[in-house]
Amino acid sequence: MIKLEGLCRDFQVGDQVVHALDHLDLVIRQREYVSIMGPSGSGKSTLLNILGLLDSPSAGNYWLDDISTASMQDDELASVRQKKIGFVFQSFHLVPRMNAVENIELPMVLAGLLPADRRDKVAAALERVGLTNRADHRPDQLSGGERQRVAIARAIVMQPMILLADEPTGNLDRQSGEEIVDLMENLNNQGLTLIVVTHDPAIGNRAQRKVRIEDGRIKIDIQ
């Protein structure tokens, strides 16, 4: 489903070029559970941003569902992100003035769904993350773990194929971090492709497939 071929991402910093990704090849199949680990600055986030179509490679190819993403324009990229990809971030990124329901329905609002069509889906997503009784709480009225659940509910409400998580437990204590990982694994069991970037070996080792990146290249890839 995901196929990367000779992927490079260079950043120009002053007169120096940083090779954040350096001829990286990777294939990820549907329903896989992949963890990506590596030292700081090795290019994990850069890889995830390219997978999520927020960034584009300097060289190489990225096929998503056998379609090359190289030629896609802003509108098309946005629409692919909307339909196929869900993001979970380390710092949640909920809109502070909106309550849980409003945050979760944002992707559907952008997609132009009518309120009547949104209601059931929001309810289902809340149910899946176990927050039905927090529906009208604003982010500042939720705990860190609960905020991340809202973020996950928002990521899955459009029923994407891939969930990309960049250090999803980085801002959480161990207890709620594990709950979040449990929740995502649960979604993976139901068919969602899960790609998690983490520094925590305990979390990274839970994945069926463990990828280690160093200096923008894949060092170890254990199935």
Partner 1 sequence: MRFFDCNRIAFGAVIRYPLRTGMMLLATSIGVGAVLMLTALGESARGYVGQAFQTLGTNIVIVMPGRTETAGTAPGAMVGTTERDLTLDDARALLRSPAIRYIAPVIVGSATVSQGNLERETTILGSTTDFATIRQWTMAQGEFLPNVDLDRASPVCVIGNVIRTELFGDEPPIGKWLRIGTRRCRVTGVLADQGTSIMIDVNEVVIVPVGYTQMLFDVSGLFRIIAQATDRESMDRARLDIIRIIKTRHYGEEDITVITQDAVLQTFDGIFDTLTRALAGIAAISLIVAGVLIMNVMLVAVSQRTREVGLLKALGATHRQIVALFLTEAAFLAVLGGITGLGFSYLVIIGVRGLYPEYIFMPPAWAAVGAFTVALVCGIFFGIWPARKAAAIDPIMALAGRQA
Instruction: Quote the least distance from Cβ 84 to partner 1, whole Å.
Output: 10
Contact 49, 7 (CB under 8 A): no
The SS3 of residue 80 is helix
Residue placing its CB nearer to partner 1 in the complex, 33 or 87 = 87
Q: Which of partner 1, Mg ion, ligand ATP, none lies near 91, with the C-beta cut-off 5 to 8 A by kind?
A: partner 1
Does position 43 interact with ligand ATP (CB under 6 A)? The reply is yes
**Which residue number places its CB atom closest to Mg ion?**
45
Q: Quick check: 90 binds Mg ion (CB under 5 A)? A: no
158 CB-near residues (< 8 Å, 6+ apart): 82, 83, 86, 107, 108, 111
**115-128 and 100-111 helices cross at what angle (nearest 10)?**
130
Q: Which of 25, 45, 98, 209 binds ligand ATP (CB under 6 A)?
A: 45
**Taking the CA of residue 176 as centre, how many other CA atoms within 13 Å lie in the half-sphere pointing to its CB?**
15
Check if the beta carbon of residue 184 is closer than 8 Å to that of residue 128.
no
Q: How far apart are CA 210 and CA 196, in angstroms?
A: 10
DSSP conformation class of 172 = S
CA distance 212 to 159: 28
Please answer whether residues 102 and 155 qualify as being in contact, where contact means their C-beta atoms are separated by less than 8 angstroms. Answer: no
Q: Which of Mg ion, ligand ATP, partner 1, none is residue 120 near (CB under 5 to 8 Å by kind)?
A: none
Nearer to ligand ATP, 54 or 95 (CB): 54
Give the range of 34-42, 126-134, 144-152, 177-185 binding ligand ATP by CB under 6 A: 34-42
Q: What mask, x for binding partner 1 by CB under 8 A, covers residues 60 to 89?
A: --------------xx--xx-xxx---x-x
Give the CA-trace dihedral at 190, 158, 68, 59, to 10 degrees. -90
Binding mask 24-63 for Mg ion (x = CB under 5 A): ---------------------x------------------
- Tell me: does residue 11 bind ligand ATP (CB under 6 A): yes
Site residues (vs ligand ATP, CB under 6 A): 11, 13, 18, 20, 38, 40-46
